[in-house]
């Protein structure tokens, strides 16, 4: 049920089905192509329990979920069948032009992402078979080995047919016609004809002999062109004959055109691209490892790694190994090590907890919480992660580390993909990246910041901490568990205008996510205590504090919207955590005129333990002065 509800809320928050051009998922993210990214409510998405955060890469809007992303995606397409169709994802909307390079990356990602389960399973099986033969647990000549080998090799050999189906869905072509094109190229007699060594022609036009088994680029180009051929033919055929003639003409055109022109061209491009990258990895050695290893996190963030997917798959299918994949493992270990360094260096207990947990998830191959939630937030740990990855990458490629299968996971669970003759070099690179990143993070240090209301709510209201991209680091609030023991009344903490909390222009307060309460638009830059009790916490930036009265009512008073960015400028606190207070005591003074120049000065007063009360009622709205009763909490 939670996956279904999450799927519904995500679709609603991205602007509804009508705003979605296409959607697919990778290992950890839903990747949307929206008609208008501005319609997506990122704040609402980040509030969902299963959503770790959001990210925009080029034109692509990403919702980071983690390991449950396939289940959420399945519920999404079940609830909204229209989202299964990706044809609309290739049409420009409202005349908006897209970056061509980014469009290519996104297209490649959209084609290969649905195929990853089959490719990953086959790749891991091939790696395990190689391990079993090396350990002499299985002989290569047995029937068992040959059957298992067919399972692993079959996916790669018939890769053009898998690509045909997936590419057709991406390009808006009939997937079964596309598979027909791939099947014709893979037909045994076609392979025998092209490999015979004799000249081959079609209607007296020479056909270049090319092997299509395990190929990637030729069939990708063929299905892209097929999508235009099919649509063109469809426009000229009368409706009663479409079912018969459109598939027939499309196949009769595309198979010969592919054999004569597209296949040789695609093979040339694919071989050139693979050859160039493999030459760089083979000949560059240490230098290539340092440069690519250090830059890998940036490559992944921009989506450029998807451009290499065809090369990686082609290498695995034809060479039996790939040298680029180990760098993805090493980069992930760099992110994991950096967050572990944050754990050792941080002073705040909550930040330590978040850093340690995200370091573990990065070790398991899910790096988004570590990279976006911690390392990029504090910048220096992200730099340390790149330094560690550069060191590990240099070591690995200096010794020729290889991956022998596409494991589908760049962490510890994906290690079977590295099993082979160079396993220990790849593993050594991972260890180096992890250790160096952790040590450099500890040495460089970072600046811990005070948190704002959205994050502090986790500590006060006993909610789990959220880890979201670019989120401020959580701050521990030492508050002893307590329950309200009697009805309580709070008095106006400032002079000005009292307004309903729902009118605050901040969803954290306006939607009462932290609890019920009241808000004020002050006319005097002074905050006095609305109750008698104890100061539980004063934010380092002095713009907010938590107090508890003698009957257990907990109040968060937050002066202004986004005033945490002032870092304490224009604020002066007159109390500190642990101080006893009486109603009317001065808590805080602030320069109202200076702050109001750039910030909304509306001040929220929220009962953070709202759940302890039957109801919380504003007693007065409109003009108020210090000390007037404004809020009552009833058990």
pLDDT confidence of residue 253:
93
**Of the segments 276-290, 361-375, 377-391, which one has the largest average pLDDT value?**
377-391
pLDDT at 303 over 70: no
Is residue 270 within 8 Å of residue 310, measured between CB atoms? yes
For residues 477 and 207, the model is more confident at 207
- Using the predicted structure, report yes or no on whether residue 283 has a pLDDT greater than 90: no
Q: Check pLDDT > 50 for residue 525.
A: yes
Average the pLDDT over 502-520 and give the result: 81
Can you point out the beta strands (E) in 222-375? none
CB 317 within 8 A of CB 156: yes
More confident residue, 98 or 320: 320
More confident: 273 or 518: 518
Lookup: tokens for 549: 């009265």
pLDDT at 340: 93
pLDDT at 131: 74
Q: How confident is the model at residue 505 (pLDDT cuts 50, 70, 90)?
A: confident
pLDDT bracket for residue 106 (50, 70, 90): low
* Mean pLDDT, residues 581-605: 89
Q: What would the mean pLDDT of 560-568 be, rounded to a whole number?
A: 82
Gap between the Cα atoms of 28 and 504, Å rounded:
34
Tell me the pLDDT band of 427, cut-offs 50, 70 and 90.
very high
Dig out the tokens for 47 from the structure. 């509030």
Give the mean pLDDT of 311-321: 75
Res. 135: pLDDT tops 90: no
Residue 562 — pLDDT band, cuts 50, 70, 90?
Answer: confident
Residue 578 has what pLDDT?
83
Pick from 386, 391, 385: nearest CA to 358: 385
Q: How far apart are CA 172 and CA 356, in angstroms?
A: 45
Structure tokens at 130: 């190689």
What is the C-alpha to C-alpha distance for residues 45 and 628, in angstroms, rounded to an integer?
Answer: 39
Characterize the bridge pairing of strands 603-607 and 622-624. Answer: unpaired
For residues 448 and 7, the model is more confident at 7
Coil/strand/helix, residue 378: helix
Averaged over 605-611, what is the pLDDT? 86
Per the prediction, the chain carries an average pLDDT of 80
- Reported confidence tier of residue 36, pLDDT bands at 50, 70, 90: confident
CB 526 within 8 A of CB 588: yes
Of 4, 5, 8, 26, the catalytic one is: 26
DSSP string, 120-147: HHHHHHHHHHHHHHHTTSS-TTSHHHHH
Average pLDDT over residues 255-282: 77
Q: Is position 26 annotated as part of the catalytic site? A: yes
Whether 179 has a pLDDT exceeding 90, the answer reads yes
Q: Enter the pTM of the model.
A: 0.46
Tell me if 328 sits within 8 A of 365, measured CB to CB: no
Q: Is the pLDDT of residue 479 over 80?
A: no
Considering only residues 150 and 117, tell me which one the structure prediction assigns the higher pLDDT.
Answer: 150
Q: Which residue has the higher pLDDT, 60 or 518?
A: 518
- Is residue 577 within 8 A of residue 537, CB to CB? The reply is yes
Q: For 215-227, write each residue's pLDDT tens digit.
A: 778 888 899 999 9
- d(C-alpha 126, C-alpha 120), whole Å: 10
Q: How confident is the model at residue 436 (pLDDT cuts 50, 70, 90)?
A: very high
Strand 526-528 versus strand 20-25 pairing type: unpaired
DSSP 3-state of 536: strand
Q: Residue 71: its pLDDT value, please?
A: 84
Q: Does residue 493 have a pLDDT over 90? A: yes
User: Over 50: is that where the pLDDT of 167 sits?
Assistant: yes
What pLDDT shows up at residue 476?
A: 37
Q: Which helix (H) or strand (E) holds 459?
A: helix 453-460
Residue count of the chain, please give it. Answer: 635
Residue 1: band (very low, low, confident or very high) from pLDDT cuts 50, 70, 90: low
């Amino acid at each position: 049920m939670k996956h279904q509800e999450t799927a519904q809320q995500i679709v609603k928050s991205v602007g509804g089905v009508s705003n979605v051009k296409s959607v697919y998922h990778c290992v950890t993210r839903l990747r949307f192509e929206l008609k208008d990214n501005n319609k997506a409510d990122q704040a609402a998405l980040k509030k969902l329990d299963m959503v770790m955060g959001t990210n925009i890469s080029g034109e692509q809007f990403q919702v980071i979920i983690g390991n449950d992303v396939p289940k959420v995606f399945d519920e999404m397409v079940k609830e909204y069948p229209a989202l299964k169709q990706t044809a609309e994802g290739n049409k420009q909307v409202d005349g908006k032009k897209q970056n061509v390079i980014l469009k290519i990356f996104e297209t490649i990602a959209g084609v290969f992402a649905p195929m990853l389960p089959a490719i990953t399973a086959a790749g891991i099986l091939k790696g395990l078979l190689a391990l079993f033969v090396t350990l002499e647990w299985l002989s290569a000549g047995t029937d068992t080995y040959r059957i298992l080998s067919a399972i692993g090799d079959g996916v790669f050999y018939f890769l053009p047919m898998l690509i045909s189906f997936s590419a057709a869905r991406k390009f808006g072509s009939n997937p079964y016609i596309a598979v027909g094109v791939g099947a014709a190229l893979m037909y045994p007699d076609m392979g025998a004809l092209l490999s015979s060594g004799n000249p081959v022609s079609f209607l007296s036009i020479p056909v270049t002999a090319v092997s299509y088994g395990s190929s990637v680029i030729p069939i990708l180009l063929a299905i892209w062109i097929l999508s235009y051929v099919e649509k063109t033919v469809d426009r000229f055929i009368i409706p009663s004959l479409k079912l018969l003639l459109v598939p027939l003409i499309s196949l009769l055109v595309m198979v010969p055109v592919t054999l004569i022109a597209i296949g040789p061209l695609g093979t040339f491009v694919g071989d050139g691209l693979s050859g160039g990258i493999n030459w760089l990895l083979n000949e560059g050695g240490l230098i290539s490892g340092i440069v690519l290893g250090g830059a890998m996190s940036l490559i992944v963030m921009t989506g450029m790694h998807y451009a290499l997917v065809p090369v990686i798959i082609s290498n695995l299918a034809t060479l039996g190994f790939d040298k680029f994949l180990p760098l993805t493992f090493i980069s992930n270990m760099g992110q994991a090590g950096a967050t572990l360094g944050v754990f050792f260096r941080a002073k705040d207990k909550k930040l330590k907890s978040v850093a340690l947990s995200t370091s573990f998830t990065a070790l398991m191959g899910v790096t988004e919480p570590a990279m976006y939630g911690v390392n990029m937030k504090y910048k220096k740990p992200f730099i340390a992660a790149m330094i560690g990855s550069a060191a590990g990458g240099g070591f690995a490629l200096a010794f020729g580390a290889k991956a022998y299968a596409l494991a589908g996971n760049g962490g510890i669970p994906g290690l079977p993909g590295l099993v082979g003759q160079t396993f220990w070099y790849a593993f050594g690179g991972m260890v180096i990246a992890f250790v160096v990143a952790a040590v450099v993070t500890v040495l460089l240090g970072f600046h811990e910041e005070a948190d704002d209301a959205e994050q502090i709510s986790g500590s006060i209201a006993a909610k789990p901490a959220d880890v979201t991209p670019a989120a401020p680091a959580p701050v521990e609030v030492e508050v002893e568990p307590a329950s309200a023991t009697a009805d309580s009344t709070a008095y106006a903490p400032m002079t000005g205008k009292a307004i309903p909390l729902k009118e605050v222009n901040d969803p954290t307060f306006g939607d009462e996510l932290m609890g019920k309460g009241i808000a004020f638009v002050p006319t005097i830059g002074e905050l006095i205590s609305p109750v008698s009790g104890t100061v539980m916490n004063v934010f380092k930036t002095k713009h907010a504090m938590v107090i508890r009265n003698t009957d257990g009512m907990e109040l968060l008073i937050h002066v202004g919207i986004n005033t945490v960015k002032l870092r304490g400028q224009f604020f002066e606190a007159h109390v500190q955590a642990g101080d006893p207070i009486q109603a009317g005591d001065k808590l805080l003074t602030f320069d109202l005129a200076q702050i109001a120049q750039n910030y909304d000065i509306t001040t929220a007063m929220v009962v953070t333990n709202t759940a302890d009360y039957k109801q919380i009622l504003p007693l007065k709205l409109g003009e108020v002065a210090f000390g007037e009763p404004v809020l009552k909490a009833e058990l």
